[in-house]
Chain A
Amino acid sequence: MDCNLSQLLLTLGRADRGADDQAALDRHVTGCAACAAFADRLSGFDVTIATAMVAVPVPPSLHVNLLNAAYARRGAQWRRTVYRTAALAAGVFIAFGLLLGGIYRNRPVLDAGELVTTTEREWETHEPTVRDWLTAQDLPPDFPFEVDFDYRYYVFHGKGELAGRDVPVVLFQNGTEQARVFVVREGQLNTTELHGLEGSVWKVLVARHPTVKGFTYVVLYTNGLEPFRRRPLGIIT
């Protein structure tokens, strides 16, 4: 290695130099007084410039100013986050409120008159339905006078078990009072022992159809039959 190359490498610095090149340079500088002096002067210059380079007085207030600015920015960031969250929550709340308000405003209006009419119409269908069903069972469509019940208290018709036999039955209920009207065909059951029978809760009435022979009506009821009698329309006890 000659002095020109040595001084060029010294000027360029140590970076990106292979180990062999560095070893060759070190050997040359060690054995060459001129290059050693060149290296010392370069190093001295670098130290001088480095000393001047960092000799920048830092304003005493800078640290506090930076911290204050950082806190202010952080506060602003927090406020923005809080405001955005609050705005989002308010938006959701308002949208939910509007939705509920819309549902509330558009809910169906309950018309008392229509409700009464609908209920009365439904009641009016009870008796024809039961009559049709009794007719279909080859039974008289109407009941004897004793069992001339108000069909507003009708709740069920079908087959019920009576002494192990399936017997047509119509159920009426008024409050806690019940009356079950079983229609027994002639010869189907012996009902002679039933009339006037009273239990602790249930009582029994046996009646015959006034015009159509061959049918016995066994009425099982609680307390009395008055709650089930026909009354002028609109009066419900």
Chain B
Amino acid sequence: MMGAPGVRELIDSHYESLYRYAYRLSGAAADAEDLVQETFGKAMTRLHQLRQADHAKQWLFRILRNAYLHRIRDDRKRRSVPLDSVPDVAAAPPDAVPAVDPKDLQAALDDLDETFRTPLILFYFEEFSYRDIAEQLELPIGTVMSRLARGKAYLRSRLAPHDPDPDADAPRRAPDGL
């Protein structure tokens, strides 16, 4: 078990992944940079709360997500695509998936409700387990699995080459909160 790291160490170790996370959440470089700045600013004032260095990344990601949620709380202009038309999660994936343009991926993420977007981003960063994501979002692991499955199905419908109308199958937030 390691002790709490310093701010310099936190920045050096995590600023890139935090920026990528912030960018995928917000969809804009300026917003992402602001979010990262805000995250480290808050981390400095709460550094005493971080007991172990190996929990630093989850801790910083949680601060960043809370900062992001705080920003979008009153953003009523933001619209997400409906999720009740989500395709069957067990629908066959495309045979061959060509490289996805990161901009197209961002556009698809931007249209997704935050409750689905965040677990998808964390999952594809390949640095967070299902359990990490569940702890990060304070959700049961089953709910995380469900949201991931539906989010992936949405991405397949948006980004797969055989899908002629991506918006047709776009998911939105489920009434049951999943």
Q: Which residues of A contact B (CB under 8 A)?
A: 4, 7-8, 11-16, 38, 41-42, 44-46, 48-56, 58-59, 62-63, 65-67, 69-70, 73-74, 77
With contact pairs A41-B92, A54-B20 given, residues A48 and B40 touching in the complex (Cβ less than 8 Å): no
For the complex, is B69 an interface residue (Cβ under 8 Å from A)? no
With contact pairs A13-B149, A67-B8, A70-B11 given, residues A56 and B89 touching in the complex (Cβ less than 8 Å): no
Cα of A14 to Cα of B36 in the assembled complex, Å: 31
Q: Which residues of B contact A (CB under 8 A)?
A: 7-8, 11-12, 15-16, 19-20, 23-24, 29, 33, 36-37, 40-41, 44, 89-90, 92-102, 104-105, 121, 124-126, 129-131, 141-142, 144-146, 148-149, 152-153, 155-156, 159-160
B95 touches A48 (CB 8 A): no
- In the bound complex, residues from chain A placing their C-beta under 8 Å from that of B101 are 52
Q: From residue A25, how far is it (CB to closest CB) to chain B in Å? A: 13
Number of A-B contacts (CB under 8 A): 122
A70 touches B44 (CB 8 A): yes
A53 touches B105 (CB 8 A): yes
B41 touches A53 (CB 8 A): no
Q: Which of B19, B121, B149, B155 contacts A62 (CB 8 A)?
A: B19
- In the bound complex, residues from chain B placing their C-beta under 8 Å from that of A48 are 97-100
- In the bound complex, residues from chain B placing their C-beta under 8 Å from that of A77 are 44
With contact pairs A4-B90, A13-B148 given, residues A58 and B105 touching in the complex (Cβ less than 8 Å): no
Q: Which of A15, A56, A73 contacts B24 (CB 8 A)?
A: A56
